[in-house]
Structure 1
Amino acid sequence: MEVFVSSLISGMEEDRAAVRRAIERLGHRAVMAEDFGARPDSPQVACLRELRRSDAVVLVLGARYGAQQASGLSATHEEYRSAQGEKPVIIFLKDGEQTPELEQADFVAEVSGWEGGLFRESYTDPQQLDALVTRALHRMALSSATTPMNPGALSARAVEVVQQVRERNHYGAVLHLGVAAGPVATILRPAELEGRDLASQLQQALMFGPQPLFDVRLGADVAVVDQAVSIFQGERNAPTAEVQFWSTGDLRVSVPLPRSTGSHMSYVIEEAVAETVASALTFADWVLGHVDPTERLTHVSVAARVVGDSVMGWRTAAEHAASPNSGSWSMMGREVERGQAVQLSPGHMPRAALKMRSRNITEDLVVLLRRRWRDERLGR
């Protein structure tokens, strides 16, 4: 494994040497700027290229921020942004008597707000850093020791998860969002899947989490069907909202979209779709972190679709407010076409992207869903 070491160089020579020792002690290769030698590239290009080629990044932050580049960020900050959501970042914060520079305090706050990396710890001296890096890399290697991943199969499974849902009649639109996780592994035993603790925690997150997906007034019931635990609202055979979670880490969220108001006709409102997709991604990230904290599942694929009966079409909130009682019939009768699943390209991504790139994933899925629902040739 190749591990890129990201930090200031000046003033942190002993810290970087400690990281190198830990990496090489485990038989990995330390990728460090001081080893690059003469190259026909700028230091920025050379470092970012080597970072992207590496398997993981060790980020070490002290009190100093470093010189700002043309982007307005330090070189270390640029490296972090480049690695963000693309590969594991193991983060170490140096404790000391020095007060961090203002820019560095902001950088540390940004890093500390990220839970997508595997580890984030503080240290006081190079010896402690050596031990912490050794332990973190060893744990990371163990968490990745699983069967090989098949990206194509993972993407296909996400589409299958979201397409193979029992359709039910709704006066309005429903979002189905599916997440397939890989490499293929059984994360929960049957007894764990049926355990009361898991069901209770899922119910709690769906109704009272940071971005709840269920209506708290309706409560929620639990059933185990087809090797999946189902949390649902309404009737079991015709739920109004449902989340299914399989022992492999795959899951599907099926929730009604908020109804358009001020009109006797029902529309899909783009902002409501975006909000619901973002909440579903947040929930998926939480579930995987809860059942698979050591990250045996390293990658995910996401697919989504919006279906609805008696729904006129797709609008932004501003479009609907401007003309709530008018509409186009161009997509009526094309329910099968507009209800097909959409997926990003490439279909698979690092699992950390569910958190780190949630905004981008949401925006792109909404664009693809809009294309399904609107007749772009008519600009409607």
Structure 2
Amino acid sequence: MRIFISSARKGLEEERGALDGLIRALGHTPVRFEDFSAQTTPSREACLRALETADACLFLLGPNYGHVFPETGQSATHDEWVAAQAAGMPRLVYRKLDVTFEPNQHEFVRVVEAYATGVFRDSFRTAADLLPKVTEKILELASAPSPLAFAKLDQPPALHWTLDDGPGGLQTAGVATLLELHVMPLGSAGYSVRELEAFGHSLPGRVRATGIVGNDVPLSPSRSQNHMAVAVPASRPHSWDTPRPGQLVEIRLYKTGQLSARAMLPRDSMGSILDPNALPKQIAELLKFIGALNIITQDRIVVAAGVSEPATTSIGTFDPHRSRRTASFPLFGNPSALRTEPDESVTLAALQAGAEEVAGHLAQALIAHHPSAA
């Protein structure tokens, strides 16, 4: 297991050094910026790339906030928190006691505590105090069974399928084919008008906090009687035949408690692509994004996916560097939208550590139901 250690170095030198030896002694691999950067201020990009290779992230909250990167206006630890949260990565948080936090660090601690759903937190005073606590949690992580658990549904919930609504005025640059993903918490009473309004006000900020869109990307909130939504403008291609990767275009929260995301599929000059390799990755990213919004907290959820306009969508391999020259489309009729009809519920881990497994099932079902599938 690879464990990423995230913290400002100043004020936590002893703890960081002790954790390196401890993690190795337990048979795992520590990942620290000291090991891949000789800079006093580590490269933001290098830290985030290293974080992506980890299985868990360990955060130490000491007195200092750290160097602020002009790209985000945040420290490396703050950026790593956002990235780990968006990835649904297991996070262990330890706060140092009896120290005075810098103002920026104090605000960051408040962010961590506000978004701490499903996160283990503890405190420490010294390295000797910290190590036994970390040992216990690492052993627990290493021996934990799969966080996913499925259960058969007596009856499927009434989902709202946005692909029945059409593009709905989204800024998709003329692309009608959309992937949609729905998450419905079981046992939810839904939201009152007041509660939905409050979520609507916080939704743009929640979307930005996941790191899925930059601070310079304009978001477009909207509302209806039964949902609040935020649209994300689609990037414009350099030319008509420029390949375009999949991209989030909308998030919706319904009064019923359902949370839905719509996204463009990967696309080239031949049209939208159901790529057996890219599709499960895109769905997993959307599942983790929905989890990182910190809206759904119920223990069990139902997940479903769909694709609009299969007649203009083909099964193939997406190449970000060049368009395909041929593609196979359905030969007859105008097939209806693809959708997975859920018959099982799953634990909340589907929005975190279990996202890849659930995404694999959904992607396989969508591709198998495509009219041109063999």
| Residues 69-106 of structure 1: per-residue CA shift (max 9 Å, x gap) | xxxx8xxx9xxxxxxxxxxxxxxxx99x8951505273
1:369 corresponds to which letter in structure 2?
L
* Secondary structure of residue in 2 paired with 1:191: helix
| Residues 130-173 of structure 1: per-residue CA shift (max 9 Å, x gap) | xxx9xxxxxxxxxxxxxxxx9626x722x723367412486442
**Is residue 257 of structure 2 the alignment partner of residue 257 of structure 1?**
no
Q: Assess, with a 3 A threshold, how the Cα gap between structure 1 residues 215 and 306 changes in structure 2: closer, same or farther.
A: farther
> CA contact under 8 A between 2:184 and 2:302: conserved in structure 1?
yes
> CA contact under 8 A between 2:349 and 2:355: conserved in structure 1?
no
Q: Assess, with a 3 A threshold, how the Cα gap between structure 1 residues 306 and 164 changes in structure 2: closer, same or farther.
A: closer
Q: Provide the aligned C-alpha RMSD in A.
A: 4.4
> CA contact under 8 A between 1:161 and 1:179: conserved in structure 2?
no
2:197 corresponds to which letter in structure 1?
E
**Is residue 161 of structure 2 the alignment partner of residue 156 of structure 1?**
no
Aligned to 1:307: 308
Q: Assess, with a 3 A threshold, how the Cα gap between structure 1 residues 207 and 343 changes in structure 2: closer, same or farther.
A: farther
Aligned to 1:350: 347
**Is residue 252 of structure 2 the alignment partner of residue 276 of structure 1?**
no
**Residue from 354, 359, 363 that aligns with 1:362:** 359
1:106 corresponds to which letter in structure 2?
H
2:156 corresponds to which letter in structure 1?
A
- Which is higher, the Rg of structure 1 or of structure 2? 1
Aligned to 1:326: 326
CA distance in 2, matches of 1:272, 1:207: 24
Flag the structure with higher helix content: 1
* Secondary structure of residue in 2 paired with 1:352: helix
Q: Assess, with a 3 A threshold, how the Cα gap between structure 1 residues 355 and 103 changes in structure 2: closer, same or farther.
A: farther
Aligned to 2:185: 181
1:187-226 aligned within 5 A: 188-195=191-198, 198-206=199-207, 209-212=210-213, 217=217, 219-226=219-226
Shift of 1:351: 0.5
Structure 1 unmatched runs, 5+:
1-72, 78-93, 134-149, 235-239
Q: Which TM-score applies when normalising by structure 2?
A: 0.52
1:191 corresponds to which letter in structure 2?
R
1:190 corresponds to which letter in structure 2?
V
Aligned to 1:33: none
Q: Assess, with a 3 A threshold, how the Cα gap between structure 1 residues 319 and 253 changes in structure 2: closer, same or farther.
A: closer
* Secondary structure of residue in 1 paired with 2:153: helix
Aligned to 1:266: 271
Shift of 1:300: 1.0
Q: Which TM-score applies when normalising by structure 1?
A: 0.51
Shift of 1:361: 1.9
**Residue from 243, 257, 260 that aligns with 2:251:** 243
Number of equivalences: 244
Structure 2 unmatched runs, 5+:
3-14, 32-54, 59-88, 92-116, 138-150, 169-173, 234-247
**Is residue 12 of structure 2 the alignment partner of residue 100 of structure 1?**
no
* Secondary structure of residue in 1 paired with 2:352: helix
* Secondary structure of residue in 1 paired with 2:369: helix
Q: Assess, with a 3 A threshold, how the Cα gap between structure 1 residues 122 and 105 changes in structure 2: closer, same or farther.
A: farther
